[in-house]
């Protein structure tokens, strides 16, 4: 299992932070890879079983290398506590929220996990492209932007 995570303290309540991370239509504002999102199949917001599509891109040295769309399903949704979804039935993305004890702060942790591919595909994905490493860098960038947006 390949995993990665990062955390940030945000000077907002867990309810405020949850409202932002669970609104997938805003993901393009903070993610360096997912540029837009939309609810599909009748879903209108976060709930277990709700599905959404995300448009993604990878840019290397300012050059777009790849664009694709994923379909994800929400697998955990507890307002103020957790928002989790599985992209393409493969990668699980999770946001966990914990009050900091100050009454207005939230520790936000974003994480991912997936079964690492084996063989040639796994070698290319992890050893050459260092995919999990780039995903962790993406988490850091995402959390930094979410914090900035909520605290501005």
What pLDDT digit, counting tens, does each position of 108-137 carry? 999 999 876 665 555 555 555 556 677 888
Q: Are 84 and 92 in contact (CB under 8 A)?
A: yes
Q: Which fold has domain 2-151?
A: Alpha-D-Glucose-1,6-Bisphosphate; Chain A, domain 4 (3.30.530)
φ/ψ (deg, to 5) at 90: -125, -60
In tens, the pLDDT along 32-85 reads: 999 999 999 999 999 999 999 999 998 777 888 889 999 999 999 999 999 999
pTM of model > 0.75: yes
| Through-space distance between the first and last CA atoms of the chain, rounded to whole angstroms | 37
């Amino acid at each position: 299992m390949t995993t990665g995570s990062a955390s940030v303290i945000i000077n907002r309540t867990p309810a405020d932070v949850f409202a932002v991370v669970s609104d997938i239509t805003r993901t393009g504002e903070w993610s360096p890879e997912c540029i837009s999102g939309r609810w599909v199949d009748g879903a209108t917001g976060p709930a277990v079983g709700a599905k959404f599509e995300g448009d993604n891109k990878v840019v290397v040295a300012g050059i777009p290398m790849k664009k694709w769309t994923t379909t994800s399903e929400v697998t955990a949704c507890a307002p103020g506590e957790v928002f989790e979804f599985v992209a393409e039935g493969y990668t699980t993305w999770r946001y966990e929220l914990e009050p900091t004890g100050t009454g207005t702060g939230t520790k936000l942790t974003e994480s991912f996990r997936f079964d690492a591919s084996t063989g040639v595909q796994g070698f290319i994905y992890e050893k050459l492209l260092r995919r999990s490493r780039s995903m962790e860098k993406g988490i850091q960038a995402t959390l930094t932007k979410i914090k900035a947006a909520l605290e501005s």
